Every structure is written in structure tokens, then in C-alpha cells.
Amino acid sequence: MHPTIFFDGVCNLCNSAVQFTIERDKHAIFRFASLQSNFAQRTLSPYGIETDKKASFVLLENGKVYQRSTAALRVAKRLKGLWPLLYVLIIIPPFIRNAVYDFIAKNRYKWFGQQESCWVPTPALKEKFLDQ
């Protein structure tokens, strides 16, 4: 089973992060679904994850859910290039990492904007998206 990244589909920052990840996912291991999708609601509800706008980035990997900075660092660890070096930040206590993450997430619409509807992947990328 592929690790799945759930993201806020109307957030420009989140959509950019997904596109960034796709470009650097050298083994095509990740799959994607917007948090607004029925797939996300069905998949994440057993884990107690509400797919409202408070959530912006969730990783489901090997039956475990990771959120916020931990999810982002676990994704970075599997990308090509120097991005895996960021995983060293995992040693920073989560309350510190997540405070920075939450500050950015809280302001993401104001700083980066949002779309009226979820981003639609190209036909070539559709197989990576689970909420079609």
C-alpha cells in the first residue's frame, strides 16, 4: 500500500506542496487525496481525524497517521535531492515544530491564497490521486 498524503485541496500552499512532492518522488510511492474528498473522510474518520480546514497535511503510512510537522518531515525523508536531510529536524520536540507549523497553517490562506475548488490533476497524474 502506498503512503497517502491528504492535503487541503483549496489551499494554494498545500497544492504547491503536493506538486513539489510529485516532482521529487523518485519512486512514485506517494498517493494523494484532498481533505475535502469523500475518500479522505472515509479513510481518516477511523483514526479520529476530522477533515475540516484545521487539518492541512496528513500522512497515512503503514496504517499510522502522521500530522503537521511530523507528516511533512516523513515525506521530505523520501524525496530525491537533499530534502531527506530535513528529517534531522525530527529531534526538535514536536511542541516546538508544531508551533511553527501551526503558525504557517493558520495564515496559509492569507499569505498564499485559496482556490474556489480543489486542484484537478492532469490526466497523467490522475493515477496518483485517490479521490477521483
Distance between CA 13 and CA 54 in Å, rounded? Answer: 14
* Region class of 37: left (phi > 0), else alpha (psi between -120 and 50), else beta: beta
Is residue 19 packed enough to be buried (19+ CB in 10 Å), middle (13-18) or exposed (0-12)? middle
Question: Would you tell me how many other CB atoms lie within 10 Å of the CB of residue 65?
Answer: 18
pLDDT at 25: 94
Output the pTM of the full model: 0.86
3-class state of residue 71 by DSSP: helix
pLDDT tens for the chain, residues 1 to 132: 899 999 988 888 888 899 999 999 989 999 999 998 899 999 999 998 888 756 678 999 999 999 999 999 999 999 999 999 999 999 999 999 999 999 998 888 889 887 765 656 676 677 777 775
pLDDT at 119: 58
pLDDT at 121: 67
Q: What end-to-end distance do the CA atoms of the chain give, in Å?
A: 18
Domain that holds residue 81: 4-128
Q: Where are the alpha helices (DSSP H) in 25-131?
A: 38-44, 68-76, 94-112
pLDDT at 5: 96
The total of structural domains in the chain comes to 1
